[in-house]
Structure 1
Amino acid sequence: MNTGTTRVTFVELPLYPNTLPLASGYLQAYAQQDPAVAAAYRFTIVSQPADTPVEDVLTALLAEEDSAVYALSCYLWNMRAMTRLLDGLLERRPDAYVILGGPQVMNHAAAYVPPGRDRVVVCNGEGEATFSAFLSVLLAEKPDFAAVPGISFYDGDTLRTTEEPARLRDLDEIPSPFAAGIFDGGDYTFAVVETNRGCPFKCSYCYWGAATNDKVYRWDQDRVLDDLTWISEHGVESVFLADANWGALPRDVDLTRHLVACKQRNGYPMMISMQAAKNRPDRVTEITELLVEGGLLASQPVSLQTMSDETLKIVDRANIRESTYVTLQAKLKEKRISSYTELIWPLPGETLRSFREGIDRLCRSGADAIVTYPQLLLHNTPMHAQQEVLGIRTVRVDDAVAEADVVVGTKWVDRADYDSGIWFTYAVISLYNGRAAQFTARELDRDGTCSYGDFLTAAAEFFRGRADDPICAFFADSVSGLRNYDINNTGKVLHYVLHSHRAELDRLLRDFLREKGWLDTARRQAAFELDLLARPYVYREPFVPPSLPLQHLEITSASRYAVELRASTEALDLLGAPAGVGQVRADHAGRRKMPYPRHRSLDHNAAYCQAMMNRLRDIMPSWSALAPDGRAEVFDAA
């Protein structure tokens, strides 16, 4: 149903191309329930990736039949572009009305709407009821914005804000835009899906809990099943389950089974990502196992954010117990399921020391990969209101599209500490996540020479002093330019250390270990040589012998992906090889790796590398003990 004469244009600038415009679909489906609105308006959705030049988006909007109303979805990742787009629309369509919505503009109208723009309003909460009321008011000869709940607008030079409506408790009041046919005919490769709204947690850095008053409301399960079926039958490749805590509800297991069944029946979706429940590790593991077996997921996220008890209190967050985390890691390893542990640096209360010590404990507990996100100061969060109390200092990222304020200081961390923490994370990514020093670091930790944390701290300081090295120069540029904000930055590190600059990292690691005096025994030298040969390849590419001479390992033969080695007693012991063997094979074929796409940009390849780090078990070499009669016995490296 889209029969009115007055055009309304939704504008979305998502991160990924061909993203299904869920927010616009909800707004349209809800508004069209009002007979007067349905009779008066026609709806159009314009969705282009956030990095599309603003002039191109504006041209696309102006090429449409004149719109009387524009509805702009504003998020951190597109706000600077949206601001320029708003200016262009008002200049070329001065008689149009504009409504801004989304977490970035809510309750911040004064920052985005100058006085005098009396045809622009800002939605301050959940959008469906407010947007429908806004369209109703515009039907009057003289619209009265004061009658619209939950908006801010200028009345002359005075900014006025109306009372926000109550949240929708019965989410089925929002008709399914899938069933309504709003998305029919679209070519979508990525979809965001909600099965509920709300979050029971109150983490001060997060918008979810703050915005929803800790209540979780859900859509009817049959309606959700139908929507997921639509997504599958229409060939959507990738789905992000946007519930704040997937796995918190028992029905999430049934919904997961349905997704797997859809994939088996229709071939889609091909990949699922999720925000896993914080305090349901067993249920999340069951869900992960279903998705892994169904070919929809390769790794389980574990969102800890910090290992500091003091920080957890300050940010009002509850984590799973550390003992539970260790048990979870052991269970995932037993099932051969990759995982990645998520942290944020620097949260209030976290010190450089506690951050390093927390990562040390994660390494010792066997975390597959440790992903550290920058702390962003988000609008409409408790932390945003506590900036002065917490000593929050930010720097805005130099980005023409996004409007991201990175926290570079707190009462507990100054800018120098912040930079040191970021250097430390690059040591974690390259040496721990990338497994460039897995045997060496573990041996030094085991023999009491230094802990994982001390090893990575020393490596970070060594990297800072090697400005002539291309890998270290990349780290330095990333730290000074806040490039860790870019989600592909980690992937670029892995592209360097696991592909394009393997030889440089060989020499860098050797020089570091020599400087520290950590190659002084046969066992440590053997550990270093194992690291040279066991470092995974992130792409499906031929094995290349290390660039440095070997003393404890002798390459006896090599094929495209595998290498056979005669190993010293020390090396065999470090590997945990079965007793009585002298030769081993390392097979680097891995699983689900793609060949190196030379024609693709570094940014494109970095996105792939980032994804592969989160499923590390797919790229790690497998080890076999070779018996004199040629038989091979697979074993897990210690």
Structure 2
Amino acid sequence: MKVCLVELPMYANTLPLASGYLQAYAQQDSAVARGCEFSIHNMPASTPVDEVLGGLPDDADVYGLSCYLWNMRRMKEVLDELVRTRPDAYFILGGPQVMNHAAEYVPPAWEHVVVCNGEGEEPFAAFLRELVAARSGDGGGPDFRRTPGLSFWSRGELVTTEKPARITDLELIPSPFAAGIFDGGEYTFAAVETNRGCPFRCSYCFWGAATNDKVHRWELDRVMSDLAWISEHGIESVFIADANWGALPRDVELTRHMAQWKRRTGYPMMVAIQAAKNRPDRVTEITEILVDAGMLTSQPVSLQTLSPEALEMVQRSNIKDSTYVDLQLKLKEKKISSYTELIWPLPGETLASFREGIAKVCRTGADAVVVYPQLLLRNTPMYQRAEALGIETVRVDDPVAEADVVVATEWVTREDFQAGAWFYYAVISLYNARSAFYVARELDRLGVCSYLDFFVSAAEYYQRQEDSQICRFFAHSVRSLGNYDINNIGKVLHLVLHSHRAEMDRLLEGFLTERGWLADPRVRWAFELDLVARPYVYREAVSEPAVPMSQLRVVSRERYRLQVEMPPPAAALLASAERIDGIPDTDPVRIRIDHAGRRKMPYPRHRSLDHNAAYCQAMMNRLRDILPAWTVAVPDVAVGAPDAP
């Protein structure tokens, strides 16, 4: 019996971990091992339907499809065509998007299509066992009522069998790496599990809702062997798919293990983690190990919200404010980038509390603020309470994905939702991209205008600038839910830090002039520092600002460097913001600004905007790789040695 497992991941050349687990577990059954021949097929979810179908065997007896929100529309098209062309085959669907939703995807006439309602290994193996037994029996056909954890149609009735208990002894699931299932594949990206389970119960998250359990782990030696396989086979990027990396003491040991293999083989080149929020010291140690090995350049800090009401509503607790501030200081001292993650709009969050939370994060000196749209994920507590929470959603206009973006709640109207999106575009362009980093800091410090009011005013100004291509992009993104795509943020950085850099200079000058702030010399100094210090996201030649400066003067320009003269008060403002000691007592002060940065790539003109946006998004998360370095341009005196030659 030919069994074809199908995955449509987000990225090309992704190692099919879910299919590997299913095959490795099922093959432990002697009847399945004798009676089934497996093949795994994975292509990016963006692959056209005809190409997906052309890459699958047309004579398989069983098709297993892994379904997630990012591939569901495309997977449904694939399923519809396979059912039409292979009416005698059997199909099993699994994954968070379809479990407990069989009636939505499977019409009553499709009695040969079943849906797995939970952890897949045991139901999938039992499903195959039933098919093998039916083939070798009297021809009466399989009876899926004997198979746990399935939903299927039988004579017009939707039947759902009892779910098996979750697997707590993970050693019952053999390693697909050790079993040779992935041998011969060409993979550049891999997800890896070292444990399963999550002790938290955040209502918006499938992880905790699906397990609601303590963490169960694979044996250390088995995990180390899997990680060694990844390194030896040259996989470039790894995502540790544990809910809370750093929660267990052994996670530090496993991180060191990856670092040792990286030094031995050069792989993996990058590691991404979901950091444990309640273990900041351990996560910082892990981050430092990965940074030293060249595998990580930034640490995520997942706050999700700073609203006490929202935290209570979604059953989440955050690290203490003082711990968060200390963490930011430690990361800055170690020159490790970080980014603070938030979600908009969570139940209990208001427009006011969302704005106040971002302003608070900016005041702590966070490198960057990343706001994800709230998606209503199926099989989560929030999904079950959506009506009571007043949740309204809009399904994104995407031919591949089936994501439902929350656009209103009991606490947020649709107008509030859009106002929050505009506010965040102001934050991306002015704070994350550093267009008005010093200005916003100085206005807040002087008590002239808080971070909150600054971004609110900027967002309102943006909405009136119909002639600005940057602002038109913001307006279109707000209308179309463009921020659903994480690369949308990268496109903002591409505009502000590269293609429309001069327009951003003029946009900022117009905003500050309208508010009358540039009449204050302290704000003027900060504004002109922003003009010369705004980073370049690509490794490219620096340019002088597109608007005239009256307080700072560019005295020389090299390919990646500017030498700038400034009055002592402006130098003092810079020294305070960047923690530079030893500014000379001269007038003017001459500063060299080095924009070479670390690990920046030249602008790839032949690449698409989407490709470049993905790079820009990644660089925002590792902002310290693109920020300029400052040096006092006095012979034999160097302050704040540059990070790059």
TM-score range, shorter chain: over 0.9
2:31 matched residue in structure 1: 36
Structure 1: how far apart are the matches of 2:387 and 2:167? 34
Q: 1:467 Cα deviation (Å)? A: 1.7
- Aligned positions of 1:248-259 closer than 5 A: 248-259=247-258
Map of 1:621 onto structure 2: 628
Instruction: Give the conservation status (yes or no) of the 8 Å contact 2:594–2:642.
Output: no
Could you tell me how far apart the structure 2 residues matched to 1:565 and 1:485 are? 40
Q: Separation in 2 of the partners of 1:418 and 1:634? A: 42
Structural RMSD (CA) = 1.1
Deviation of the 1:393 alpha carbon? 0.3
Equivalents in 1 of 2:301, 2:640: separation in Å? 29
The aligned counterpart of 1:234 is 233
- Summarize the Cα distance change of 1:218–1:120 in structure 2 as closer, same or farther, 3 Å threshold: same
Q: Deviations over 1:498-553 (max 9, x none)?
A: 00000000000000001111111212111111111000000000110011111111
Shift in Å, 1:18? 0.3
Runs of 4 or more, structure 1, over 2 Å off, are 629-637
Tell me, in whole angstroms, the C-alpha distance in 2 between the residues paired with 1:18 and 1:156: 41
2:12 to 13, 17, 23: 17
Question: Which residue matches 2:613?
Answer: 606
SS for the counterpart of 2:519 is coil
Q: Which runs of 5+ in 2 are unaligned?
A: none
Aligned to 1:584: 591
Q: Is contact 1:238-1:271 (8 Å) kept?
A: yes
> Are 1:632 and 2:644 matched, yes or no?
no
Task: Report the secondary structure of 1:412's partner residue.
Answer: coil
Amino acid corresponding to residue 324 of structure 2 in structure 1: Y
Cα shift at 1:634: 2.4
TM-score (norm 1): 0.98
Q: Secondary structure at the match of 1:246?
A: coil
Q: Distance in 2 between matches of 1:554 and 1:246?
A: 48
One-letter amino acid matched to 2:301: V
Partner AA of 1:460 in structure 2 = A
| Structure 2 counterpart of 1:452 | 451
Residue aligned with 2:465, SS: coil
Could you tell me whether the CA contact under 8 Å between 2:45 and 2:71 is conserved in 1? yes
**Deviation by residue 1:482-512 (Cα, 9 ceiling, x = unmatched):** 0100010000000000000000000000000
Per the alignment, residue 40 of structure 2 pairs with 45
How far residue 224 of structure 1 moved from its aligned partner, in angstroms, is 0.2
User: 1:424 Cα shift?
Assistant: 0.6
Match of 1:3 in 2: none
Q: Separation in 2 of the partners of 1:360 and 1:432? A: 10
State the TM-score, normalizing by the size of structure 2: 0.97
Tell me the distance in 1 between the aligned counterparts of 2:49 and 2:452: 45
The separation in 1 between residues aligned to 2:212 and 2:313, in whole angstroms, is 19
Q: 2:269 touches 2:294 (CA, 8 Å); kept in 1?
A: yes
Counterpart amino acid of residue 591 in structure 1: R
Q: What residue in structure 1 maps to residue 305 of structure 2? A: 306
Distance 1:411 1:66 in 2: 51
CA distance in 2, matches of 1:216, 1:124: 21
Q: Please show how residues 135-534 of structure 1 align to structure 2 within 5 Å.
A: 135-139=128-132, 140=134, 141=139, 142-534=141-533
1:372 aligned counterpart, secondary structure: strand
For the residue of structure 2 that corresponds to 1:95, the secondary structure is coil
The answer (yes or no) to whether the contact 1:202–1:214 under 8 Å persists in 2 is no
Match of 1:93 among 79, 86, 94: 86
Contact 1:625–1:635 (Cα < 8 Å) also in 2? no
Identity of aligned residues (%): 66
* Counterpart residue type for residue 498 of structure 2: H
Is the Cα contact below 8 Å between 2:3 and 2:61 reproduced in 1? yes
Give, in angstroms, the shift of residue 574 of structure 1. Answer: 1.3
Cα deviation for residue 636 of structure 1 reads: 9.7
User: Gaps (5+ residues) in structure 1?
Assistant: 1-5
Distance (Å, rounded) in 2 between the aligned partners of 1:419 and 1:23: 37
Which residue matches 1:58?
53
Q: Report the Cα offset of residue 65 of structure 1.
A: 5.5
Asked if residue 79 in structure 1 is aligned to residue 72 in structure 2, the reply is: yes
What is the Cα deviation at residue 630 of structure 1?
Answer: 5.8
Cα drift, residue 468 of structure 1: 1.4
What amino acid does structure 2 have at the position aligned with 1:587?
D
Contact 2:200 2:212 in 1 (8 A): no
Report the Cα offset of residue 37 of structure 1.
Answer: 0.4
Note the alpha carbon deviations across 1:451-488, whole angstroms, 9 max, x for none: 11110111011101112100000000000000100010
**Corresponding letter in the other structure for 1:580:** D
SS where residue 632 of structure 1 aligns?
coil
What's the secondary structure of 2:640's corresponding residue?
strand
Q: Which amino acid aligns with 1:103?
A: P
Shift of 1:579: 3.6
Match of 1:377, SS state, is coil
Would the aligned equivalents of 2:568 and 2:585 in 1 still touch at CA under 8 Å?
no
Distance, in Å, in 2 between the alignment partners of 1:321 and 1:208 is: 23
Other structure's SS at 1:245 match: coil
